[in-house]
Structures are given as C-alpha cells and as structure tokens.
Homo-oligomer: A and B are copies of this chain.
Amino acid sequence: MSLIIQKYGGSSVATTDHIRRVAMKVASTKIQGNKVAVVVSAMGGQTDQLLSMAAEISGSPSGREQDALLATGEQVCAALMSITLESLGHKAKSLMGIQLPLVTDNVHTRARIIKLQTEIIEQILSEDTIPVVAGFQGVTEEGWISTLGRGGSDTTAVALAAALKADCCEIYTDVDGVYTADPNICPKARHINIISYQEMLELAGLGARVLHSRSVELAQKYQVPLVVKSSFGGEKHTWIVNEEEVMENSIIKGVTLEKNVSKISIIRVPDRPGIAHSILSPLAEAAINVDMIIQNASIDGYADFTFTIPTTELEKAKELVGQVAREINAREMLAANNIVKVSAVGIGIKTNPGVASRMFKSLSEENINIEMISTSEYRISCVIEEKYGELAVRAVHKAFGLDKVSKEKTEA
C-alpha cells in the first residue's frame, strides 16, 4: 500500500464544481488501494479578494494579521474538500496548519518550516480517513498563524511527503508538466517526462513557473519523488527525481526566457580591493537580488562593473548605486531595462564542453549580440536585447535538437 500526497492548486479548486472533480480523483486514488493525504490551496481568486479587503483598510497591514487573514482561504477550501469527500462516501478530516501543527519561524508572510508533527495525521490515516491539509500556512512557536509565502502550498505538500516518508508527492496544477520551452514562444516545445531536481531548479528559477524553487529544493533535500500533473485530466505528467534516476540524459533539457531583467553598469571604477563589496552591500541590505555580475579586466587601474537585477527593483537600485558611484569616484552609472536573459538548462552541460559554444553560435547565426554571459553546472545564460528574446529561445531550442520528437525511453 503506497502513501501518496496530492496537492491541488488554486485553479484546480476554483469552484465547488472543480472541488468535486478533484475529490473524485482523490477518491479513485484511495479506491486503487493507496493511502492518500491531500493538500489544498485557497480557491482561485480567494486570496486576492482577502488581500483587497485588507488593502481597503491599510496600506501596510502587519504580517501577523495578514497571515491570520489569508490562512482562512486554504481553510475554507480544505473544509469544502472534506465535505465533498464525505459526500462521496469517504471519511475525511480537514486540518489547518495550527492543527497539525506545522511549526514555522516567525517571519510572517514568508515563514520557513521548523518542524512538522506527524502524529495527528498518522492517526487520521490509520483510521482509514483522508486528511485534507490547508496548505501555505503554519503556526509560529509563539502560537501565531503564519504563511509560507509564494509556492507555499507546494512546500506544505513536499514537507508532508518528507515527514510521512510518502512514496510520492503529486502536484496537480493547470499545466501537465514541464516543457522544453514555453510553447507560446516556441511552438515546437516538447513535453518533458522526467527531469532531475537540479535541472528543475534551474528551470523554475528562470521562470518555468510550474513549481516554486523552494518546494523542489525541499524535495531534493528529503529525496521526495515529485510528479506534476494537470488537474484537468490528460495522460502527460513530469516526474522530478534524483539525477541518477534520469536515464535519458539529453544534454540540454530546456530553454527559458526571463523577462523581468535590468542591468546597471558603473563605468571607470577605481579598481581597488573592496570595491565590489561597497557597490553590492547596499543592495543586499535593501534585499535586492543581484543576479549576474561582471567586472571586466582592469585597465590603467580602472574597471567597469555590471550586474543584473529584477526590473521591479531598478529605481531603488539606481538610487542606492548612484550614491555609491559618487562616493567611489566612478565616472558614471548606466542603467538599461530593455534586456532579457535566455538560458539553456541541462545536466549534460557539465560533461559536454562544446555546449556553450553551440549556444553562442546559434545566437550569432541570428545576428543576436550577447551582452553578458554566465554559466553554472547546469545552466548557460546569455543577456541579450529584449526584442530578440523569443527568436533566441527558438534558435537555441533548435540548436540543441529539442525540436525533434525523440523516443523518450524512461517513464517512471
């Protein structure tokens, strides 16, 4: 008898009709002889509705109260899901984070899990009852309701799967898994059957948007096999597992386009130790996430220093960096937001030395100028002009043979 954790996102439970459809899926998993625990998000739109009520009152509600407010969304959905399962003849019990309890730190609105007690949920499972857990939420050690931030319900599901040593964690969403590229940009994008945690992290971090990085990291840490499926049916799905279990290792697994990118350059910085630190530490203090950093070779004691940040942080970053630039006597600061980042991701990169040059060649053949480059074990990223973004994705996708329908040998 397998123990399966199933997580259903907001669009999968948007209405009571959706909930009924999803409950039938849960029930059929149980009827097939499995133990099932369910994690639900708030019904689609509910969270925004609660936030807009809070916004009517205050521009800056305290994190604690905002969490208490938002946690009701998942609680409503968990209770309705339990009622639906009961109406289908199954025993079910809904649980809030505070009831498990799922204990978090006290960083409200983006709390991290400290521990997840399993006694109550194991008791429920042993009574042949389906636990329905309100995702996204926990309780601080002081007893206040907390929420886990973006992708929180996925994180709840993976944490539950890890704590219960579940056989797998199924994430039901409005897509049927991960593709080699965004099909809206690249019509020849193909569905990926199986991918490693590491590759998924690079894809998710770059905007694949199927799963939040945090839940993939947690799954990797506790070796929880994850599978992404569509809650609207269909046979396709994507397994996310250990690198060793991915038998069919194409060099590149996918190509992504990240749009919310801006760059700031500081020109003719006196090149002395500590300069990078003095430029970047004000940004770190302001919690601005600096991504790619390039410092060119020093010429006559001066260097140019360029980095990328999310466009949403550009104005704030310009202000902070502008001040530093004056203090360190740099010649000038330049900023641009008409850029994008194209990345190729795959386990094969670290063992195939020619991968980077194949990517650069494909871009140059389309006359696309590369402004910045960064690489990691699993990823090569190029910053290019925004207008070439989609073209670049298609070119790189084709260059690595992802357009071709391959015989996928592995199906977990």
Contacts and interface: CB of A to CB of B under 8 A. Distances in A.
B75 A58 contact: no
A68 interface: yes
A61 B83 contact: yes
B53 A65 contact: no
A392 to B, nearest CB: 45
B83 A54 contact: yes
Contacts of A79: 54, 65-66, 68-69, 72
Nearest to A78: B68
Given A72-B75, A79-B69, A84 B57 contact: yes
Interface in A76-105: 76, 78-80, 82-84, 86-87, 92-94, 96, 98-99
A240 to B, nearest CB: 32
A145 to B, nearest CB: 8
Contact of A93 (B54, B64, B83): B64
A50 B75 CA distance: 12
Contact of A72 (B54, B57, B76, B84): B76
A62 B75 contact: no
Contacts of A75: 68-69, 71-72, 75
A56 B17 CA distance: 9
B83 A69 contact: yes
State how many copies of this chain the complex holds: 2
Contact of A69 (B19, B53, B57, B76): B76
Given A86-B62, A143-B99, A143-B120, A20 B57 contact: yes
For this complex, into which size category does the number of interface residues on chain A fall? 35 or more
A83 B57 contact: yes
Nearest to A56: B16
A97 B144 CA distance: 12
Nearest to A73: B72
Contacts of A93: 64-65, 144
A339 B62 CA distance: 55
Contacts of A71: 75
Nearest to A91: B62
A163 to B, nearest CB: 18
A102 to B, nearest CB: 14
Contact of A58 (B62, B83, B99, B145): B83
Interface string A13-30: 000100110000000000
Interface of A: 16, 19-20, 50, 53-54, 56-58, 61-62, 64-66, 68-69, 71-72, 75-76, 78-80, 82-84, 86-87, 92-94, 96, 98-99, 120, 143-145
9 contacts: A61-B87, A62-B82, A65-B86, A65-B93, A68-B75, A68-B94, A69-B79, A72-B72, A75-B75
Q: Which 8 A-B pairs have the closest CB atoms?
A: A69-B79, A58-B87, A72-B72, A68-B79, A61-B83, A16-B56, A65-B82, A65-B83
